[in-house]
Amino acid sequence: MSKFGVIVLDGFGVGAMDDVPQVRPNDVGSNTALNIIKAEPNIDIPNLERLGLINAIGVERGRHIFSPDANWGTALLKHHGADSYLGHQEIMGTNPPMPLLQPFNEVIDQVEKQVKEDGFAVKRYGDPGLEILVVNNCATVADNLEADPGQVYNVTATLDKMSFTEITKLGESVRKVVKVSRVIAFGGSDVTIDNILDARHIKKKYVGISAPESGVYKKNYHVVHLGYGINPKVQLASILIRHGIDVALIGKASDIVRGDTDRRFPGVDSNYLFDRFMDQVKEINNGLIFMNIQETDLAGHSEDTDHYASILEIVNRRLPEAEQYFTGDDILIVMADHGDDPTIGHAQHTREKVPLLIYKENVHYKYVGERESLSDVGATGAEFFGVEMPQNGTSFLNRITGGVDIS
């Protein structure tokens, strides 16, 4: 009976991927962790550093130095771009196919046809070329204006008029005919279709609904993320659940990782999420406890190094509390899903490799290498529990339990 814990510090990269000059030139020079330390030299994160953060960065700076005791490595992104949803699918063992970047109005005809065929009433709203779809007079289908342009479509609905089952069905109808990275279907209560339409914005050739302005987040918010080429059945969470192994999903992970588990704990506040993590660590004897810390990513988007540092200090303070419950064969991994460098000069994610910081009781000096994919974490979890491998990934369990001694 063993625990496998994963803490994803959202947007906490340790250096630009080699392909960045070709595929994301605006990310050249990005190194979220190092640039925060440069901007905030008094940041106090000794526990993250003990686990090998500076080793993963590869550069010492002032009192922030390499740890001789750490079990650590790094992992490259296999998914295109730098995306939280795709990053988590990759961690769970999926190799996401290359999606298209496409304004919604380029596919509105196909979506309208499919949605009608699936039994929904549809009308268009807006000027030709910048239209959205209004469905059953209580939901919209349009561009997502927060993600990279053309990457995501949103289904925004009122739960007062449409059940979440129907919202999900509508999202799946859209998903059938589009090849963008994600379709996000969500809704909230005490919201009208007029509230939703009043939150419509146009950004060049993209038109969509501002979810915060619409009010859907305020009460009874429900969401499902539907990815392109994503099969949850061959991901670690679903595999473990089929074998009767507990899976807890905490923070944003509860929204974006699929699987038939009741142990879902959404939220954003980092201390609240660590409290839920501790509850599950104490309660689960044999299972996966998987948490996303989102406030790091939000600080990156805000280009606020001081706030980013303060969230890292919260994580740093809470880590020893978690470590004491990972004993014997248990393993705890602290990692990221991409970068979000607040110093790079833009407010988007940055395409960076990520740290792998590994805690295992009485095990030190193990180097797991630079992994080819985030999926290697999912594959390691599968080998740890003795279940079949996910779709993608190579386990590094033997490098922890047998390992490469770097002492």
**Same domain for 188 and 92:** no
**Same domain for 258 and 399:** yes
pTM greater than 0.95: no
DSSP code per residue over 291-323 = EEE-HHHHHHHTT-HHHHHHHHHHHHHHHHHHH
12-48 pLDDT tens trace: 999 999 999 999 999 999 999 999 999 999 999 999 9
**Same domain for 253 and 200:** no
**Same domain for 374 and 277:** yes
Residue 405 has pLDDT above 70, yes or no: no
Measured CA to CA, the distance from residue 18 to residue 169 in angstroms comes to 40
Asked which of 176, 195, 227 is the last residue of a domain, the reply is 227
DSSP 399: I
**Same domain for 351 and 303:** yes
**Same domain for 346 and 399:** yes
Do 290 and 6 meet the contact criterion of CB atoms below 8 Å apart? yes
Range of lowest pLDDT (11-15, 111-115, 119-123, 264-268): 264-268
Residue 407 has pLDDT above 60, yes or no: no
**Same domain for 235 and 223:** no
Which secondary structure element, helix H or strand E, spans residue 288, and what is its range? strand 287-293
Q: Which residues contact 165 (CB under 8 A, 6 or more apart)?
A: none
Tell me how many domains the chain contains: 2
147 confidence band (pLDDT: 50, 70, 90)? confident
Do 205 and 103 meet the contact criterion of CB atoms below 8 Å apart? yes
The sign of the dihedral angle between the CA atoms of 325, 326, 330, 333 is positive
**Same domain for 359 and 342:** yes
DSSP code per residue over 100-112 = P---GGGTHHHHH
404 confidence band (pLDDT: 50, 70, 90)? low
Q: Which residues contact 109 (CB under 8 A, 6 or more apart)?
A: none
Domain that holds residue 114: 104-227
Q: Rg (Cα) of the chain, in Å, rounded? A: 21
pLDDT value for 19: 98
**Same domain for 42 and 111:** no
- β strands within 96-254, DSSP E: 122-125, 132-135, 139-143, 152-158, 182-188, 200-203, 206-209, 222-227, 246-250
CA-based nearest residue to 138, from 209, 201, 226:
209
Helices (H), 268-400: 270-283, 295-301, 305-323, 375-385, 397-398
**Same domain for 391 and 289:** yes
Rounded to 5 degrees, what angle do the CA atoms 108, 110, 112 make? Answer: 65
Interval 300-322 mean pLDDT: 98
Range of lowest pLDDT (59-63, 118-122, 401-405): 401-405
pLDDT value for 354: 99
CA-based nearest residue to 138, from 184, 176, 170:
170
Residue 98 has pLDDT above 90, yes or no: no
Question: What would the two tokens of residue 164 be?
Answer: 């979440």
Q: Determine how many CB atoms are found less than 10 A away from the CB of residue 265.
A: 18
CATH of the domain at 265: 3.40.720.10
Question: What would the two tokens of residue 377 be?
Answer: 């974490």
Backbone angles phi, psi at 255, to 5 degrees: -90, -30
**Same domain for 140 and 287:** no
Roughly how many angstroms between the first and final C-alpha of the chain, as a whole number? 30
Distances (CA, A) of 269 to 225, 274, 294, 335, 350: 21, 9, 8, 18, 23
Asked which of 172, 205, 227 is the last residue of a domain, the reply is 227
Average pLDDT, the chain: 96
Residue 95 has pLDDT above 80, yes or no: yes
Asked which of 191, 212, 227 is the last residue of a domain, the reply is 227
DSSP 93: T
Measured CA to CA, the distance from residue 391 to residue 61 in angstroms comes to 39
**Same domain for 385 and 248:** yes
